[in-house]
Amino acid sequence: MGMNINTNMMTAYFPKMGYRMGITQQKLGETKNTDAQQVSNTAQKTQSTGGGFVLHISNEQDGEAIGAMCGADHSVTVYKPKDFDAENPVYKVKIWDKDGNATERMVDVSKVNPRNSDYIDMFAYTSHLTDTKECPSAQSSFTSSAMNQHGMDERSYEDLFAKNDWVNQLADAMHTQYEAGNFEGYWHYRPFWDFLTKQG
């Protein structure tokens, strides 16, 4: 037994950022180590350059977590609900602010427009593409292109709700990597770019 999360995504994304991952259980202000089997109330705890935050992952009531990310003052987790229907791909997304207050949103990823959506909808969409293997690199390409352009700790909780053209952002990130001679970084984004541009 373990947490219901794409561990490949977690290990591929966070070590590149210099974050340390560790499982903790929080109860009444106390933090202590816990066994991975006791996951109903666990969260990933790590440190960013701007301070500490909690990355919420495991939550049996919300379903299987297929994506999780965090910034200096927020945390976002995408859950595949227990009644998930692949023909009608609607995910539950929970967004936590710096005080631990949660907001929930149901996202129908078939209706997400990458040229005009907020970070939350786009993160749900790319988590879906990675989880279903439609575009395995979608989630890491999206999150790293957003970070490449703006810096992870510079995106605030309020910024998560602002609409953006993510296709243009991806193009900018690819251009930046190409101009810098970082062809590995350029080719990291290319499969997601190809996927998005073929979608119309």
Order of strands, sheet of 74-80, starting from the edge strand that comes earlier in the sequence? 64-71, 74-80, 90-97, 102-108
Confidence (pLDDT) at 106? 97
Helix (H) or strand (E) holding 104: strand 102-108
96 against 44, higher pLDDT: 96
Contacts of 174 (CB under 8 A, 6+ apart): 145, 186, 189, 190, 193
Q: How far apart are CA 56 and CA 44, in angstroms?
A: 6
Confidence (pLDDT) at 154? 66
Least confident stretch, 29-33, 48-52, 103-107, 122-126: 29-33
Angle between helix 119-131 and 138-150 (nearest 10): 150
Domain ranges of the chain: 7-198
Confidence (pLDDT) at 60? 72
Kindly tell me the sign of the dihedral angle through the C-alpha atoms of 194, 131, 78, 43.
Answer: negative
Mean pLDDT score across all residues of the chain: 75
Q: Is the pLDDT of residue 1 over 60?
A: no
Q: Three-class SS of residue 181?
A: coil
DSSP state of 125: H
